[in-house]
Amino acid sequence: MLEICNLCAGVDGKPILKNLNLQVKAGEVHAIMGPNGSGKSTLAQVLAGRSDYEVTGGSVSFNGVNLLEMKPEDRARAGVFLAFQYPVEIPGVNSTSFLKAALNECRKARGEEELDAMEFLSLVKKKTKLLELDQSLLSRSVNEGFSGGEKKRNEVFQMAVLEPKLAILDETDSGLDIDALKVVAGGVNKLRRPDNAALVITHYQRLLNYIVPDIVHVLVQGRIVKSGGKELAMELEERGYDWILETVAANGKP
C-alpha cells in the first residue's frame, strides 16, 4: 500500500529525513518509535503533504501513485489520514459541517453518493459511540475549547467517519490519561480491516499495549535503524533508546 524509498526531507534547508525506507502492506499496523527529534513527526507531516517541509529526494508511492505530487486534499481523498499531534482549533468553523464537507469530498473522490444531512447525522451518531465522544462537542467550532483528550478523541473520531485506507497517528497517545488512551486505542482497533493499514507514531511503548503492531521500526536521526516485532517495543521500553544510539554510532552511520 505504502512504499517509501530513500526519502529525504527537511525544513529551511536543514535535512531531517535521510534516505528513509518503509513498506506498509494492507492489513498491517506499523509502529514508528524513536527519540525526540528523530524525524517521526516530520515523516507524518510529509506524508500528509505539509508544504513547510521540503522533499529533497526519494519517492513515496501510495497504492501505485506518486503521493509526493499530490495536494494535501487529494491525498486525503485518496485515503491518507493524519491524526494530528496538535489538532488545530478553528474558531467559527462548525465541527459538523466541516466533517460533512470533508466526508463528501472523500466520497465524491471514491465515486460514492454524497450523504445528506440525515444520513450524515446517523453515521455520526454511530461513530461517536465508538469513541465515547460527547456529541455536543460537534455543535461547537472545530477543536475550539476542547480538552487535550477531547482533541485526540476527535481526531480518531474523524478517522472513523472518513474511513481512510492509511491512517497515520502522530503521537495520538501524548497527553492522554490511561482511560482516554484505552478508548482511543479501542477505536483504532475497531477500525482495523484487512484492506486498510495504520502507521502509529509514538515515543512510548504504552500505546502499543493497546494497539498491537505487526512491525515496530526505530527511527533515529532521520532513518530507520532497526525493525522488528512487537517485542522490540518492549525492549525499547526497558532499555531506552541509548543502546540503539550507541549501536548506530558504533556502526559509523548517522
Does position 235 interact with another protein (CB under 8 A)? The reply is no
In the list 105, 163, 214, 237, the residue contacting another protein (rule: CB under 8 A) is 105
Cell readout for 202 is 509514538
- Hey, is 33 helix, strand or coil? strand
Site for another protein in 170-189 (CB under 8 A): none
Does position 137 interact with another protein (CB under 8 A)? The reply is no
- Taking the CB of residue 221, how many other CB atoms lie within 10 A of it? 19
The distance of closest approach from Cβ of residue 98 to another protein in the complex, given in angstroms and rounded to an integer, is 7
φ/ψ (deg, to 5) at 193: -140, 160
In the list 21, 50, 130, 192, the residue contacting another protein (rule: CB under 8 A) is 50
Q: Which is nearer to another protein, 25 or 71 (CB)?
A: 71
The distance of closest approach from Cβ of residue 45 to another protein in the complex, given in angstroms and rounded to an integer, is 9
The distance of closest approach from Cβ of residue 220 to another protein in the complex, given in angstroms and rounded to an integer, is 27
Does position 101 interact with another protein (CB under 8 A)? The reply is yes
- Taking the CB of residue 79, how many other CB atoms lie within 10 A of it? 21
Residues 6 or more apart in contact with residue 250 via CB below 8 angstroms:
none
Which 8-state DSSP code applies to residue 106? H
In the list 98, 204, 210, 241, the residue contacting another protein (rule: CB under 8 A) is 98
> Amino acid letter at 113?
E
Site for another protein in 77-96 (CB under 8 A): 77, 81-82, 84, 87-88, 90-93
Does position 111 interact with another protein (CB under 8 A)? The reply is no
Q: Which is nearer to another protein, 50 or 182 (CB)?
A: 50
φ/ψ (deg, to 5) at 160: -65, -35
Cell readout for 7 is 526519502
Strand 54-62's sheet: what is its strand order? 14-24, 2-11, 54-62, 65-66
Are the C-beta atoms of residues 50 and 73 closer than 8 Å to each other? no
Report the residue count for the chain.
Answer: 254
The distance of closest approach from Cβ of residue 137 to another protein in the complex, given in angstroms and rounded to an integer, is 16
Residues 6 or more apart in contact with residue 187 via CB below 8 angstroms:
130, 131, 153, 156, 157, 159, 160
Sketch the per residue contact string, 28 through 47, with another protein: x for CB under 8 A, - otherwise.
--------------------
Q: Which is nearer to another protein, 94 or 247 (CB)?
A: 94
In the complex, which residues of this chain contact another protein (CB under 8 A)?
48-51, 71-73, 75-77, 81-82, 84, 87-88, 90-93, 98-99, 101-103, 105-106, 109, 141-142, 158, 162
